A = this chain, B = another copy of it.
């Protein structure tokens, strides 16, 4: 076989694996939005069957030789060419998957089903001890996984690399710790007065849904290739070309909860809808990392969605949709209300400033758990100490404290930092965008949103995994990731 045929064979194989994965994604969307409660056991069978099949496909024994052979034959191609990028990423996936023994994969997958159940019980009964032994089991398995990946060393970075290729804890430490201090400074200077209550009222869900769809459409989310549904914990599901589904939850007393949920997920959705459909199933047609993905959601939710220049255009429509609630509230007061900074216990409800502190201490804690510096039984105490130090609050119980997030119970260690990386990337991208397109502090109308979207698509979405996240950032902004852009954004917005 010539090089072209070998490459084609691999492309078909991995695309087929991606098609199977896309079926699983639809099942996942359904599970969280439509599935009747009674369908849970069958869904577990379906998920197991599809993920087993997917795993078999990406670890198929002929792949190793085929990939290495093709890599050797294409070594004189430019490293950013389609073939080299796809080979690099296929080898990455194949190597990762083959480093972990099947027995560990099965053990983890079985444990996670029960640990998530235990976490749910622990949270609803507000009893950490119900989760403690499961957390210990998961951490032991994740340490084993890290050891397999990092040649015997139980390294946090080996897990982090799965979500943010190329990132290291050394680099994150050097960014997050000084950033923490400047964020606490911003927080302390924010007004303590309650500015949010003015917009509380009665917002019928059906009207909220229509309004949210209009705003998401205004921002470019394509409803011919997607849809909006409600769920308990909002997410975006990029099933594949032409089918990307976003979700939110509506609060009848406050329409901004649902709307910002929609904008956040629509930011993820624009990324998915902006990927190259001709590269579907290939690394060159797949989002580069969780951090960059989160930058797109944060950018639309915060830099765009919580800006005064955006609401200059949207607010009149909001008033028409909800006249009884908003007609007497001036734009400036509305803008203050949606930007209220207020320390709270729950990460997912946090504002733009305090959110980052939630992430920093989770990052610190999960590193310490993996390195055994922190023992499992001491987690609730350590959590509460951090909350007091960073946010000045003491959780009343573990359900509002260390039991609030699903991540650890789902085996996701090294995932939290990507949320904060997303904020940093978003600020750096926006600083650049403002220099090259017509977006300034006076106007963010539909034309400029269009320009912004084209710019993001050209520079980020359509690139897929062509460059590692750090390199992508340099290509776009001319600089490595630098926390100063996010600091400047927060200083300008909250200390005017």
Binding site for B on A (CB under 8 A): 16, 19-20, 22-23, 26-27, 30, 34-43, 45-46, 49-50, 53, 222-227, 239-243, 245, 280
Collect the chain B residues with CB atoms within 8 Å of residue A241's CB: 38, 41-42
State in angstroms the CA–CA spacing of A245 and B30 once bound together.
12
Identify A42's interface contact among B42, B43, B50, B242, CB under 8 A.
B242
Minimal beta-carbon separation of A77 from chain B (angstroms): 28
B243 touches A49 (CB 8 A): no
- Nearest chain-B residue to A281 (Cβ)? B45
State in angstroms the CA–CA spacing of A224 and B23 once bound together.
24
A39 touches B239 (CB 8 A): yes
Instruction: Known contacts A42-B239, A242-B41; decide if A23 and B27 are in contact (CB<8 Å).
Output: yes
Minimal beta-carbon separation of A46 from chain B (angstroms): 5
Collect the chain B residues with CB atoms within 8 Å of residue A42's CB: 19, 22, 239-243, 280
Collect the chain B residues with CB atoms within 8 Å of residue A243's CB: 35-36, 38-39, 42-43
Instruction: Known contacts A42-B242, A42-B243; decide if A49 and B23 are in contact (CB<8 Å).
Output: yes
Minimal beta-carbon separation of A181 from chain B (angstroms): 46
Minimal beta-carbon separation of A45 from chain B (angstroms): 5
- Nearest chain-B residue to A241 (Cβ)? B42
Minimal beta-carbon separation of A423 from chain B (angstroms): 30
Minimal beta-carbon separation of A28 from chain B (angstroms): 11
Interface class of chain A by DSSP:
helix
Collect the chain B residues with CB atoms within 8 Å of residue A242's CB: 36-42
Instruction: Known contacts A46-B22, A53-B53, A242-B41; decide if A34 and B36 are in contact (CB<8 Å).
Output: no
- Of the listed residues A40, A49, A50, A224, the one surrounded by the most CB atoms of chain B closer than 10 A to its CB is A49
B16 touches A49 (CB 8 A): yes
Given A39-B242, A42-B243: 14 more A-B contacts, CB < 8 Å: A22-B42, A23-B46, A23-B50, A26-B26, A30-B30, A36-B227, A37-B224, A38-B242, A39-B240, A41-B242, A42-B240, A42-B241, A42-B242, A53-B53
Collect the chain B residues with CB atoms within 8 Å of residue A223's CB: 36
A226 touches B50 (CB 8 A): no
- Nearest chain-B residue to A37 (Cβ)? B224
A225 touches B16 (CB 8 A): no
Collect the chain B residues with CB atoms within 8 Å of residue A225's CB: 36-39
State in angstroms the CA–CA spacing of A39 and B22 once bound together.
12
State in angstroms the CA–CA spacing of A190 and B224 once bound together.
48
- Nearest chain-B residue to A48 (Cβ)? B19
State in angstroms the CA–CA spacing of A137 and B344 once bound together.
67
Would you list the 5 A-B pairs with minimal beta carbon distance, nearest first?
A38-B242, A39-B243, A38-B225, A42-B240, A19-B49
State in angstroms the CA–CA spacing of A227 and B34 once bound together.
8
- Nearest chain-B residue to A50 (Cβ)? B23
- Nearest chain-B residue to A222 (Cβ)? B38
State in angstroms the CA–CA spacing of A223 and B39 once bound together.
11
Collect the chain B residues with CB atoms within 8 Å of residue A40's CB: 242
A224 touches B45 (CB 8 A): no
State in angstroms the CA–CA spacing of A219 and B39 once bound together.
21
Collect the chain B residues with CB atoms within 8 Å of residue A38's CB: 222, 224-226, 241-243
- Of the listed residues A37, A46, A241, the one surrounded by the most CB atoms of chain B closer than 10 A to its CB is A46
State in angstroms the CA–CA spacing of A40 and B16 once bound together.
17
Collect the chain B residues with CB atoms within 8 Å of residue A222's CB: 38
Minimal beta-carbon separation of A20 from chain B (angstroms): 6
- Of the listed residues A36, A224, A240, the one surrounded by the most CB atoms of chain B closer than 10 A to its CB is A36
Instruction: List 11 contacting pairs A-B, 8 Å CB cutoff, sorted by A.
Output: A19-B49, A22-B46, A23-B46, A26-B27, A30-B30, A35-B243, A36-B245, A37-B224, A37-B242, A38-B226, A42-B280
Minimal beta-carbon separation of A238 from chain B (angstroms): 11
State in angstroms the CA–CA spacing of A481 and B39 once bound together.
36
Collect the chain B residues with CB atoms within 8 Å of residue A30's CB: 26, 30
- Of the listed residues A27, A38, A43, A280, the one surrounded by the most CB atoms of chain B closer than 10 A to its CB is A38
Minimal beta-carbon separation of A279 from chain B (angstroms): 14
State in angstroms the CA–CA spacing of A423 and B22 once bound together.
40
Minimal beta-carbon separation of A437 from chain B (angstroms): 27
